[in-house]
Structure 1
Amino acid sequence: MTMPASPPVLIVGDSGSTKTVWRIVSQGETPEERRQGGFNPNYFSFEGFAEEVRRAFSEPEWAELRGELYFYCSGCGVGEMREAVEELLQELFPRMRVEVQHDLMGAARATCGDQPGIACILGTGSNSMCYDGVQEVDKVPSLGFILGDEGSGVDMGRRLLRAYFYRELPADLRQPLQALLPGGREELVERLYHSEGPATFLAAFAGFVGEHRRHPFCAQLLEDCFRGFVQSHVLKYEQAASWPVHFVGSVAFHFQEELLQVLREANLTPGKILKEPLDELVRYHRAHRVESL
């Protein structure tokens, strides 16, 4: 007797340097969520990522799932890297149709949907692109946490730590910041140059900026960060004057008051500001599924 085929499922994953979140949608059931550590193929090992996926999807029947899997990941903008991640996930989910895209495409689909707009990411790092409702039409390159990531948590941490070590940080902020980095310069060098996840380390200091956002120094730091992103990215697009500017990411979400002020000063049209794209990505893919769910 032939067993009936299992109903198709939809799996959507979103990964940055800090965390990876999966949403599993089965017919007629409440979507499930799974979380694991962050992944960027430029900085993290494929073996470690695969092991975390196996832990997140611990039940043996996951290997038998069929349907569609979409994975959005920072660092997957280059074809070779995207293909490597796609092959890895295809091995882990052999019966799924797997598609891997960079996280910026996820931001565009989540915020713009089928409409044109400028999609931006402000989280651990930063990125942007012009999206016509179907595909990328223009993109200012992202230069990573050493040369770029303007307006991101990395940018905030970088500016804050420079001010601290160059003795430019106001006295009333020095002591509370020192408590977060008791090892001083030696700890800083170790975390930046000899440990995994230096961008995540820098971005963690965005929490300090948030706690002291009303302090004149931190208020100016936020303004400088967001103004730097708008000038380096958004205003480089000729469509910026007429297309809405959307944002995805924890930094954009938690500091949207300061971000919106900078956008207004630049005469830009704010669009959606999402902390995470997954809910909207699930809606997008349910509307564009190969097999109905």
Structure 2
Amino acid sequence: MILIADSGATKTDWSFGTELSSQKLIHTEGINPFHMDTQYIEEIISRQLIPQLPSSASSDCTAIYFYGAGCTPERAKEISDSLHHIFPHAHIEAASDLLGAARALCQRTAGIACILGTGSNSCLYDGTNIVKNISPLGYILGDEGSGAYLGKHFLSDCLKRQLPVSLTEDFLERYNLTLPDILEKVYRQPQANRFLASLTPYIYEHREMPEIRKLLTDSFTAFLKRNVLLYEKKDPVSFTGSVAWYFQEEIRSCLSELRLTTGRFVKNPIEKLAVYHFSMQNVS
């Protein structure tokens, strides 16, 4: 049995089985070694993951591939050690969610892999590993095209009277927000990026408005120009993440304008990661 994980801030998707056709998907709380110590990580695995697996999983599991946010080379060992305590016989590899996205999107073919969710990221992938990465820099200095970036610019346009008054009034009423509320959430409360990204459903709902269409075009073009074009490669550009999935039409248009080749769009990387690893098992 092999076990594959794709972990974000709020949840971890797990795939397990002995072959692709028999794989099963389960979920646990998100695991981020940047914010959690090994004891807490092991508690999530023991209390949330193990009860959902076959009773013999700890001894039958031969390999584990974990991809997660915050899983930098320095932090990957914490994940590996936590998993090894519970699955002592398994070969364990822990890597970033970006490598997971690249393998899910491109499989064993070279390409450019992008994540557009709450934040954004991208890389040049050679079919096995990441060979180049433009730092996303976070939602203050970067994260172009992300949910946080869209939310930030949408709020600014609302409050700076760049959007129709009727739209601004409807938005503030729908979300029960005032200017002091917004400033409090953005500048004083934690995880302002999540608050900003939470506004994307409203943006999506009004994406046909000329002003919103321009906001989307400007945002996705900025992502491509400030990240993807820097790779100086003409490989297909593929995307995963909630923003990428729901704004495919707008992203495809921006790719075409910049004469970039569109790759694939994948909503949930875990299913394609299962394809990648189960096929690798068959090759080996």
Aligned counterpart for 1:176 among listed residues 170, 177, 180: 170
Q: Which residue is equivalent to 1:75?
A: 70
The range that moved more, 101-110 or 31-40, is 31-40
- How far the C-alpha of 1:228 sits from its partner, in A, is 0.7
Between the aligned partners of 1:195 and 1:51, the Cα distance in structure 2 is: 28
Task: Return closer, same or farther for 1:113/1:58 CA change in 2, 3 Å cut-off.
Answer: closer
Whether contact under 8 Å (2:240, 2:267) holds in the other structure is: yes
Task: Return closer, same or farther for 1:91/1:203 CA change in 2, 3 Å cut-off.
Answer: farther
Q: Which residue is equivalent to 1:66?
A: 61
Q: Does 1:274 align with 2:266?
A: yes
Which structure shows the higher helix fraction? Answer: 2
Size of the alignment, in residue pairs?
280
CA displacement, residues 125-151 of structure 1 (integer Å, 9 cap, x when unaligned): 111111111222222112122221111
Q: Which residue is equivalent to 1:17?
A: 9
Name the SS for the 1:262 alignment partner: helix
Whether contact under 8 Å (1:17, 1:124) holds in the other structure is: no
Whether contact under 8 Å (2:27, 2:49) holds in the other structure is: no
Cα RMSD over matched residues?
A: 2.6
Aligned counterpart for 2:251 among listed residues 237, 248, 259: 259
Alignment of 1:15-164 (within 5 A): 15-26=7-18, 30-42=22-34, 44-46=35-37, 49-59=41-51, 61=55, 62-76=57-71, 78-164=72-158
TM-score by length of 2: 0.87
Letter in 1 for 2:205: E
Q: Which residue is equivalent to 2:232?
A: 238
Letter in 2 for 1:212: H
CA displacement, residues 235-286 of structure 1 (integer Å, 9 cap, x when unaligned): 11111xx311111112111111000000000000101111111111101101
Letter in 1 for 2:28: Q
The range that moved more, 213-222 or 27-36, is 27-36
Between the aligned partners of 2:165 and 2:41, the Cα distance in structure 1 is: 42
Between the aligned partners of 2:88 and 2:95, the Cα distance in structure 1 is: 18
- How far the C-alpha of 1:168 sits from its partner, in A, is 3.2
- How far the C-alpha of 1:50 sits from its partner, in A, is 4.5
- How far the C-alpha of 1:223 sits from its partner, in A, is 0.6
- How far the C-alpha of 1:28 sits from its partner, in A, is 8.7
TM-score by length of 1: 0.85
Whether contact under 8 Å (1:181, 1:187) holds in the other structure is: no
CA displacement, residues 77-105 of structure 1 (integer Å, 9 cap, x when unaligned): x3212222332333343333221111111
Letter in 2 for 1:161: L
Letter in 2 for 1:136: I
Letter in 1 for 2:36: S
Task: Return closer, same or farther for 1:41/1:165 CA change in 2, 3 Å cut-off.
Answer: farther
> Identity rate of aligned residues, in percent?
36
Between the aligned partners of 2:43 and 2:163, the Cα distance in structure 1 is: 42
Whether contact under 8 Å (2:114, 2:237) holds in the other structure is: yes
CA displacement, residues 182-233 of structure 1 (integer Å, 9 cap, x when unaligned): 3535544554466554433221211111111111222111111100100011
Between the aligned partners of 1:222 and 1:34, the Cα distance in structure 2 is: 34
Name the SS for the 1:289 alignment partner: helix
Letter in 1 for 2:194: T
Task: Return closer, same or farther for 1:135/1:28 CA change in 2, 3 Å cut-off.
Answer: closer
Structure 2 unmatched runs, 5+? none
Task: Return closer, same or farther for 1:73/1:180 CA change in 2, 3 Å cut-off.
Answer: farther
Whether contact under 8 Å (2:33, 2:78) holds in the other structure is: no
